[in-house]
Amino acid sequence: MLLRRSLTTGITVLIISTIAGALGHGFGGEAGLRQITQYLVLGLFAMSVDFLWGYSGLLSFGQAVFFGLGAFCYAWVRKGTFAFIPVLENSSLAGLLSAIVLPALLAVIVGYFLFYGKITGPNFTVVTLALSFLVSLLALGWSGVFGGYTGLPHVPPLALTLGNWEMSARAGMTSFVIVTALCVIAAAGLRSILATPFGLALEGLRDSEQRLQYLGMNVAQVKMVVWTISAAVAGLAGGIYSSIAGYVAYDLLGVLLSTEAVVWVAVGGRGALVGAFLGAVLVRAVSYALSGIALSYWMLFLGVLFILVVLLGSNGIMGLVERFRRGVPSATGS
């Protein structure tokens, strides 16, 4: 059961990635493929949001803090900022590892205060919003480290060395394959966590915190674990993103990206990792197709999406799929 579920999720992500990649390459050649690869990384980011929101009911408007921090970590390591620490010299692996570890550490610290302080519901959302807002302002002001408005350019792409085998993701196809593989592994991994007893506790958390307490679970602890895992995944996505985009700036930490990720999940459908992944790729692709309009009306586009999601009140694309599968013509509410 556990294996089958994670396998299905992994394969679905693989199929979506392949189709998206083929379309991107077909329409835009090498550049199109690179574009799609970026969207896939954002899809990975979206899955981290869904893991938190869709499964445990914690709606964060500050997830980009971890994504952005991951992106900066990779950039710092690859640009030799930490070269004085021997382990962290300019290596891709060290870059990605730091992109996972540092955001996770930050999540542990912040989470301790949030969850043991019993900050829940709307208050949790706005505190995370405040966090994202202020961290991005801080990054903007601290230009020596974060590069201010211009950010940090020329971040080197992934380059992995294993013994005699060397691989560099300079070519579009290589990086597409690496990213797809990572997304598949992450999706399957997250899904398998959800199938464990811990995952079942998570669903309990979403449905009724109180029931979980009666069962003798430590709610704050459960939240801490989910929050940290999701931050680590977001950080990893950030690290890969910076290796592909080759450029990081303060807005990767900001509120706009944080909430855009929430829209991806809402459009794709909550509580199904695949939906979040698809939502991210789709929303980004559509807005790119409309780029003439979308660039200057970007916030308008996002804002309308937010309101539509609420007014339509169904669970995004996955909700439609579910309905189709059950053969129910149309039911209101979810």
Partner 1 sequence: MGTGALIALQGLNSAVIISTLLLVAIGLWIIYGLMGVLNLAHGELLALGAYTVVAAGMLGLNGWIGTLLAVIVVGFIGYLLERTFVHRLYLRPLESLLATWGLSLIIRQVLQLVFGAAPRRVSAPVTGGVPMLGMAFPVYYLVILATTAIIVPLILWLFYRTTLGMKIRAVLQDREMAQCLGVKAATINTYAFVIGAALAGFAGAMIAPLISVEPWMGSAFLVRSFMAVIVGGVGAILGVVGGSALIGGLEGVIAFFGSSVIAQVIVLGLVIAIIRFRPEGLFTQK
Q: Is 74 exposed, middle or buried (0-12, 13-18, 19+ CB in 10 A)?
A: buried
Q: How far is the CB of 127 from partner 1 (least distance, A)?
A: 7
Q: How far is the CB of 72 from partner 1 (least distance, A)?
A: 17
- 53 contacts: CB under 8 Å, gap ≥ 6: 59, 60, 262, 265, 270
Q: Which is nearer to partner 1, 215 or 310 (by Cβ)?
A: 310
Which CB sits closer to partner 1, 134 or 167?
A: 134
How many CB atoms are located within 10 Å of the residue 153 CB?
A: 12
Quick one: three-class SS letters along 110-128? HHHHHHHCCCCHHHHHHHH
The least CB distance from residue 144 to partner 1, in Å, is 14
Q: 272 CB contacts (<8 Å, ≥6 apart)?
A: 50, 54, 318
**Phi/psi at 168 (5° precision):** -125, 140
Our CB check for partner 1 shows the closer of 175 and 258 to be 258
Q: For residues 12 and 125, which CB has a smaller minimum distance to partner 1 in the complex?
A: 125
CB of 200 to partner 1, least distance (A): 22
Please tell me the distance from the alpha carbon of residue 291 to that of residue 10, in angstroms, as a whole number: 30
Residues that bind partner 1 (CB under 8 A): 59, 61, 110, 112-114, 116-119, 121-123, 125-127, 129-131, 133-135, 137-138, 140-141, 255, 259, 262, 266, 297-300, 302-307, 309-311, 313
The token pair at 45 is 């980011």
C-beta of 307 vs 331, nearer to partner 1: 307
Closest contact distance (angstroms) between CB of 98 and partner 1 is 22
For the chain, helix, strand, coil in percent to 5 are 75, 5, 20
CB of 209 to partner 1, least distance (A): 14
